[in-house]
Amino acid sequence: MRIRWILLAVLPALFAAGAGAQNNTAVDWSKPFPPHKIAGNLYFVGSEQLASFLIVTPEGNILINSDFEQTVPVIRASVEKLGFKFTDIKILLGSHAHGDHMEGDALVKELTAARVMAMEQDVPALRKMTPGGKPHPIDHILHDGEQVTLGGTTLVAHLTPGHTKGCTTWTMKVNEGGKMYDVVILGSVSVNPGYVLVGNKDYPQIAADYARSFQVLKALPCDIFLGSHGSFYGMAGKYAKLEKGGANPFIDPQGYRAYLDDREKAFQSTLNEQKQKAPQNN
């Protein structure tokens, strides 16, 4: 019954690319993971599978990714375990319009009164994401390159479409040990099973969007690589190293480049395969 509920929760978020979020049948999306400081005023507060980030400022806090609605209590517990108040969240951002990242927006807003912001191109998909019949709140529509500032911390929204039409990568700077580091929180460049890259009537420019997004991402300065799933950036292994002390394992510019290279090759391989199978127009 629980698996069926999860599947029903995800279906409204399935995007025109040909599929939606990840396969939900064998994963406990709400399994807790130890909340932890990444660097400076940036903290991890998500689950084992779904990454959520808390940015702490003197004027209130910013949350990136509410995840599934059923995951919100896990996020709240993580925030409070770190010693912060959940109600101090003033701004709620997201990575992309799939249920495993933004379905919980309405509940977080209900609990915190946070302003919900979303990239323009993802708004139509988010409007259809109504768990329990609750309308999806959107208080401010973002555009590519827009800055979101609170309490002296500024995040920049980079439109990196393909995974969804409004997939958003966030960048910011953090001060760790007196040194400034560039942070990239990757929305996603994954080509999920079922995505149609060739002849997609609902999203004709999907392949071109993916290709452009890789170029945008490769041009971003990155010291600390994060993403909407902990698996993107090897969170579990890095957290284990963090617990042992020593150099901060989240400072990983090489890992960022390697991940992009791997995902770009996977995208190109899928694109070529679909092109070969596509009907030829003579």
3 falls in which pLDDT band (50, 70, 90)? very low
Percent of the chain with pLDDT over 70: 90
Q: How far is CA 95 from CA 10, 19, 21, 101, 248, in A?
A: 16, 17, 12, 7, 24
Q: State the pLDDT at residue 281.
A: 59
Q: Is 22 exposed, middle or buried (0-12, 13-18, 19+ CB in 10 A)?
A: buried
What letter does residue 118 receive in the DSSP assignment? Answer: E
57-114 pLDDT, tens digit per residue, is 999 999 999 999 999 999 999 999 999 999 999 999 999 999 999 999 999 999 999 9
Q: Quickly list H helices, 63-113.
A: 72-81, 99-102, 105-112
Give the model's confidence band at 279: pLDDT under 50 very low, under 70 low, under 90 confident, else very high.
confident
Mean pLDDT of the chain: 92
Could you tell me how far CA 31 lies from the centroid of its own chain? 18
Q: Which domains does the chain have, with CATH numbers?
A: 31-276 (3.60.15.10)
